[in-house]
Amino acid sequence: MSIYQVLNPATGEVVETYPTATDAQIAEAQQRSHDAFGPWAARPVAERAAILNKVADIYAERADELAGIIHEEMGKKVVEAKGELKLCQLIYRYFAEHAEAFMADEPLRGTAPEDQAFVRRRPVGSILGIMPWNFPYYQVARFAAPNLALGNTIILKHAPQDPKSSAIMEEIFHEAGVPTDAYINVYATNEQVADILLPSPLNHGVSVTGSERAGSAVAAEAGRNLKKVVLELGGSDPYILLDTKDVKKSAKTFFATRMGNTGQACNSPKRMIIAEDLYDEFATELTALAKAATPEDPTVEGSPLSPLSSPAARERFMEQVEAVKADGATVLAGGDAYETPGAFVQPVVFEGVRPGMRGYHEELFGPAFMLFKVSSEDEAVELANDTPFGLGAAVFSEDLGRAERVGSQIQAGMVFLNTPETSREFLPFGGIKRSGVGRELGPLAMDEFVNKQLVYKKG
């Protein structure tokens, strides 16, 4: 039976299945992608940019249809799905507008007056993208937009639960003018990636967004085959509240941020680090908000609780929650799955999570809140950095200088001051430590799968 299927997480119903590709089809896709590279890379940058703008136009025209697809595939609220589609449009337009500037030759300083030396940026060839289910369109956009603008060709393996949205994206790229073989969607298995795609000399790199385990496995195969990798993996991001004039407002902001996509986001704030004089009021407000979030219709704007992405996701999340409870953490709210056919779980609020507990070191991928009380800036920084992850962080204070001082000490790829973590087309996205390597979005995205070719002219 195919591993690619649309399973509605709100009902548990399998809606549609898709056949997995054969080995021969995967090998053929790699050859086609390679053959398409030369003509695609030879097109003027402005021509490729115009196609990206057309992709954005089609996303806008088909927004209702596209939102409905991922609502059914992974339970995303329709209002959140439409927000994801708007961000995708911004991403495609951003790289369409700036591609030529980002690819411009870069003169090298320190050369003699009679010499010329510069770095020329050129595409590298066919690259593979392995994408997750939590933001089906956005994850593809931030990988595909800069690389298609560069002139690379793409083979895209999406998550097995997103076969319909991945097929629609391929359709949209082709409708916009991307050649059929310059962007190929494949329903591949993990074994086909490891045995066929990554060993192929026609593949020139792989980008993975997903779990630590997935990133580690793909990176190992890429390393064995000497392929460039970009890894955007998990996070256990701190959200540090140093001081505020409105504790309840701060709690509501944190709750809303954490509950986005039902907590299924790598850069979602997982650990709330709160100054001790604010802690009790904050914890009381957050607990009340968590208890009030009950399952309703995710198609209705304002519904407080959508399902997790699948029954399997619910099972994994609840196994983690039970482990945290067994380790001795205090549950202030929630902590159980709902007795429904869909993948609904109660938002859970923990305090007393300590080093050595499983929840302290793992990413809880769902609506889980961990609260920590600190008595000083130094304690906040130490706690924020005591994690194997290093994706993002947010620091809040009425004194921006204080927020900057604390933020400058955080070991993370992204630091947000007096604003929740977010994703924008112009902001480089990525982390350090076990959160991955490389950057997506912003100008740095076009410095990953690129040949930074030295050109040196003597005399």
Question: What tokens appear for 447 in the block?
Answer: 């410095």
Question: Beta partners for 230?
Answer: 207
Catalytic residue, from 266, 362, 363, 425: name it.
266
Tell me if 407 sits within 8 A of 260, measured CB to CB: no
Contacts of 339 (CB under 8 A, 6+ apart): none
Q: In angstroms, rounded to a whole number, what is the distance separating the alpha carbons of residues 6 and 146?
A: 29
CA 419/CA 416 separation, integer angstroms: 6
Contact 214, 130 (CB under 8 A): yes
Q: Which residue has the tokens 């003018």?
A: 177
| Three-state SS at 195 | helix
Please check whether residue 428 is in contact with residue 94, taking contact to mean a CB–CB distance below 8 angstroms.
Answer: no
- On whether the CB atoms of residues 374 and 383 are closer than 8 A, the answer is yes
Q: Has 61 been annotated as catalytic? A: no
The contacts found for 410-419 with CB under 8 angstroms, 24 or more apart, are 410/238, 410/381, 410/384, 410/385, 411/384, 411/385, 412/237, 413/439, 414/267, 416/392, 419/394
Look at the block and give the residue holding tokens 């992850």.
389
Q: Which of 73, 170, 232, 425 is catalytic?
A: 232
Question: Which among 309, 310, 338, 335 is positioned nearest to 320, based on CA atoms?
Answer: 335
The three-class DSSP label of residue 10 is coil
Helix (H, G, I), strand (E, B) or coil at 437: strand
Structure tokens at 285: 């407000």
Q: How far apart are CA 326 and CA 445, in angstroms?
A: 42
Is residue 232 annotated as a catalytic residue, yes or no? yes
Q: What are the residue numbers of the active site? A: 232, 266
